[in-house]
C-alpha cells in the first residue's frame, strides 16, 4: 500500500478489484462468470474510441454537459468565509449526476448484447436516469425500489413508469436501498443471459466501483478546467455528500493526487451519530455485503443494520469500497450532517440562491455551512450539487409541518 501512496492515489483497484483490503468480488458463483464478462467488456470499451466518442457525444448533446460551476455569491456572503462554488449536476438531464454513469453503462450493456436492464434505486434518481437511458436505447427496464422509498419519492416513481420502466416494490427489510439491491441481485441471478445490472453507485462487486467512478469522473475533470478558467487556479477544498459515494468519487478522484486540496465526504447522520443514522464510515466497521468489502453498519454478530436518513439516496448501511480505502489512507476527511442540518441547508439554498437542492446534496451544503465560515475569503470551495430537489418537496413539507404538497 505504501507503494501506491508514494506514487498515486488514483491507481486502484488492483487487478483483482481490491483497494487495499476493500472491494473485491464477493458474489455467488452463478454471477461470477457474468461479473468477469462485464469486467472484460468494460476493459475493451474504455479503450475503444468508438465507445468513448459515443459517450462523449451523449454527455454533451443529451445530458447537457458540461454542467456549470456556479459561484454562489449570496451563499458565500452569508457564510462570510470561503468563496463557495456549486457544481451544478442538478442541471443535467433528469436532474442529478446519476445520468453520467447511466450513459456509460447503457452503452456497455448494448455492446454486450443485453436486452433487459435492471437497477436498484433509493431516491429514484438513479431509477429515473436508468429508465431514461433505456427509453433512449429501446431496452426493457425493471427498477427495484424499496416500498418505503416508493412512498417518499412518489414523483420519481411515476416518472419511471412514464418512461416505460417496470417499478418493482421491495418489501423485505426496511424497504430501502439495501433491500432493493438484494432484490436486484436475486433477479440478476435468475436472468443472467439477457439481463445487465446497471448499478447506480460506486459499490457492488468489481468492476462496478471502478467503472462507475470512471463514468462520474467527468464531474471532477470539468471542475478542474472551470475553476482554472474562472479563478486561474485549483480549488482549495471539495465537499460532496455520500450515499454509496458516486457523486463524491466523481468529484474527488481527479484531485486525489494534489495533496494541497482538502477533501470532505459528508455522510448522513440521520437523527444523530449516537442514534439512527446512515454514516457507515463514522459508525460502522469493515465487512462484506453486496459483492464487496467495505465499512458497514452492523451489529456485533455481523448482521447488517438498517441505515436511517431523511434522504432516500443516502439511506444505505454501506459505502463504496474506494471511500473505505481513502478513509484509511487519510486522504479524504469523512464527516456527517444530520437530517435537521440538511433540511436547514435545503431551505437556505432555496431562499438565498433560488436553487432547490436534492436532500442528498443538502448534506454537503450543511457541512459547507459549518466549514466555509472558518476559512479565509480567498479560499475556493467546491460543493457538489449532485441533484435537484423537486422530488423531495413533499418530504420537506411533511417535516416542516406544512401542507399543500403531494
Partner 1 sequence: MSRLSQRFADLKAQNRAALVVFTTAGDPSASVSQAILNGLPEAGADIIELGMPFTDAMADGPAIQEASKRALAGGMTLQGVLEMARNFRQTDQATPIVLMGYYNPVYIYGPERFAQEAAKAGVDGMIVVDLPPEEADELLAPLSRSGIDFIFLTAPTTDDDRLPVVLNKASGFVYYVSITGITGTVSASEAAVGEAVKRLKSHTQLPVAVGFGIKTPEQAAAVARHADAAVVGSAVVERVAKGDVKLVHDFVAELAKGVRTARK
Ligand X SMILES: Cc1ncc(COP(=O)(O)O)c(C=O)c1O
Binding residues for partner 1, rule: CB under 8 A, are: 16, 24-34, 172-173, 178, 182, 185-186, 189-193, 287-291, 296, 298, 300-304
387 binds, among partner 1, ligand X, none (CB under 5 to 8 A by kind): ligand X
Instruction: Provide the CA 217 distance to its chain's centre, in angstroms.
Output: 12
Candidates 279, 360, 365, 371; binder of ligand X (CB under 6 A) is 360
**ω into residue 307 within 30 of 0, thus cis?**
no
Examine residue 75 and tell whether it contacts ligand X (CB under 6 A). Answer: no
Check 98, 110, 114, 178 and give the catalytic one: 98
Four-residue CA torsion sign, 204, 208, 214, 218: negative
Whether 8 sits among the annotated catalytic residues: the reply is no
Nearer to ligand X, 207 or 375 (CB): 207
307 binds, among ligand X, partner 1, none (CB under 5 to 8 A by kind): none
Nearer to ligand X, 67 or 247 (CB): 247
Candidates 243, 254, 284, 318; binder of ligand X (CB under 6 A) is 243
Candidates 99, 103, 123, 369; binder of ligand X (CB under 6 A) is 123
Nearer to ligand X, 24 or 245 (CB): 245
Four-residue CA torsion sign, 181, 184, 188, 194: negative
34 binds, among partner 1, ligand X, none (CB under 5 to 8 A by kind): partner 1
Three cell numbers written together for 277: 443514522
Check 89, 120, 183, 267 and give the catalytic one: 120
Instruction: Considering only residues 178 through 207, tell me which ones interact with ligand X, judged by CB under 6 A.
Output: 201
Examine residue 67 and tell whether it contacts ligand X (CB under 6 A). Answer: no
Nearer to partner 1, 116 or 186 (CB): 186
Examine residue 387 and tell whether it contacts ligand X (CB under 6 A). Answer: yes
Examine residue 313 and tell whether it contacts ligand X (CB under 6 A). Answer: yes
Candidates 34, 150, 241, 366; binder of ligand X (CB under 6 A) is 241
30 binds, among partner 1, ligand X, none (CB under 5 to 8 A by kind): partner 1
Q: Is 56 exposed, middle or buried (0-12, 13-18, 19+ CB in 10 A)?
A: middle
Examine residue 104 and tell whether it contacts ligand X (CB under 6 A). Answer: no
Q: Give the CA angle between residues 195, 196, 199 to the nearest 5°.
A: 140
Examine residue 146 and tell whether it contacts ligand X (CB under 6 A). Answer: no
Q: If you ran DSSP here, which 8-state letter would residue 23 be given? A: E
Candidates 358, 362, 381, 382; binder of ligand X (CB under 6 A) is 358
**ω into residue 207 within 30 of 0, thus cis?**
yes
Closest-CA residue to 396 (of 340, 330, 337): 340
254 binds, among ligand X, partner 1, none (CB under 5 to 8 A by kind): none
Instruction: Provide the CA 303 distance to its chain's centre, in angstroms.
Output: 24
- Torsion-angle region of 290 (φ positive above 0: left; ψ -120 to 50: alpha; else: beta): left
**Pairing label, strands 380-385, 237-241:** parallel
Q: Are 371 and 381 in contact (CB under 8 A)?
A: yes
Whether 73 sits among the annotated catalytic residues: the reply is no
For 11, 19, 41, 297, 304, the CA distances from 219, given in Å and listed in that order, are 18, 22, 24, 29, 32
Three cell numbers written together for 259: 495533496
Backbone angles phi, psi at 177, to 5 degrees: -55, -40
153 binds, among partner 1, ligand X, none (CB under 5 to 8 A by kind): none
Whether 120 sits among the annotated catalytic residues: the reply is yes
Map grid coordinates 427489510 to a residue: 173
Map grid coordinates 474527488 to a residue: 252
Check 76, 336, 361, 386 and give the catalytic one: 386
Map grid coordinates 468489481 to a residue: 206
Catalytic residues, which ones?
98, 120, 386
Residues binding ligand X (CB under 6 A): 96, 98, 122-123, 125-126, 201, 241-248, 313-314, 358, 360-361, 386-387
Amino acid at each position: 500500500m505504501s507503494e501506491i501512496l508514494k506514487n498515486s492515489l488514483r491507481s486502484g483497484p488492483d487487478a483483482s478489484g481490491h483497494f487495499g483490503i476493500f472491494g473485491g468480488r464477493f458474489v455467488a458463483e452463478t454471477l461470477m462468470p457474468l461479473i468477469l464478462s462485464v469486467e472484460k467488456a468494460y476493459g475493451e470499451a474504455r479503450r475503444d474510441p468508438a465507445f468513448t466518442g459515443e459517450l462523449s457525444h451523449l454527455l454533451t448533446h443529451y445530458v447537457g454537459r458540461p454542467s456549470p460551476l456556479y459561484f454562489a455569491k449570496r451563499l458565500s456572503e452569508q457564510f462570510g468565509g470561503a468563496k463557495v462554488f456549486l457544481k451544478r449536476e442538478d442541471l443535467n438531464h433528469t436532474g442529478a449526476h446519476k445520468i453520467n454513469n447511466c450513459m456509460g453503462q447503457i452503452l456497455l450493456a448494448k455492446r454486450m448484447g443485453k436486452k433487459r436492464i435492471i437497477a436498484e434505486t433509493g431516491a429514484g434518481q438513479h431509477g429515473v436516469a436508468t429508465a431514461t437511458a433505456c427509453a433512449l436505447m429501446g431496452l426493457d427496464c425493471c427498477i427495484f425500489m424499496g416500498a418505503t422509498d416508493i412512498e417518499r419519492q412518489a414523483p420519481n416513481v411515476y416518472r419511471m413508469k412514464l418512461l416505460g420502466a417496470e417499478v418493482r416494490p421491495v418489501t423485505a427489510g426496511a424497504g430501502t436501498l439495501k433491500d432493493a439491491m438484494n432484490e436486484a441481485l436475486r433477479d440478476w441471478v435468475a436472468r443472467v443471459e439477457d439481463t445487465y445490472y446497471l448499478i447506480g453507485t460506486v459499490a457492488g462487486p468489481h468492476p462496478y466501483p471502478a467503472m462507475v467512478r470512471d463514468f462520474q469522473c467527468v464531474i471532477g475533470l470539468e471542475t478542474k478546467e472551470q475553476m482554472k478558467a474562472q479563478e486561474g487556479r485549483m480549488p482549495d477544498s471539495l465537499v460532496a455528500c455520500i450515499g454509496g459515494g458516486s457523486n463524491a468519487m466523481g468529484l474527488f478522484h481527479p484531485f486525489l493526487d494534489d495533496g494541497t486540496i482538502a477533501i470532505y465526504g459528508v455522510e448522513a447522520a440521520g437523527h444523530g451519530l449516537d442514534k439512527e443514522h446512515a454514516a457507515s464510515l463514522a459508525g460502522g466497521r469493515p465487512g462484506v455485503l453486496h459483492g464487496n468489502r467495505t465499512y458497514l453498519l452492523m451489529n456485533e454478530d455481523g448482521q447488517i443494520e438498517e441505515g436511517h436518513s431523511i434522504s432516500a439516496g443516502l439511506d444505505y448501511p454501506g459505502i463504496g469500497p474506494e471511500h473505505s480505502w481513502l478513509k484509511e489512507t487519510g486522504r479524504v476527511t469523512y464527516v456527517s450532517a444530520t437530517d435537521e442540518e440538511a433540511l436547514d441547508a435545503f431551505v437556505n439554498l432555496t431562499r438565498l440562491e433560488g436553487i432547490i437542492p436534492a436532500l442528498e446534496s443538502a448534506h454537503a451544503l450543511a457541512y459547507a455551512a459549518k466549514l466555509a465560515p472558518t476559512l479565509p475569503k480567498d479560499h475556493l470551495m467546491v460543493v457538489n450539487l449532485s441533484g435537484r430537489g423537486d422530488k423531495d418537496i413533499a418530504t420537506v413539507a411533511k417535516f416542516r409541518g406544512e401542507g399543500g404538497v403531494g
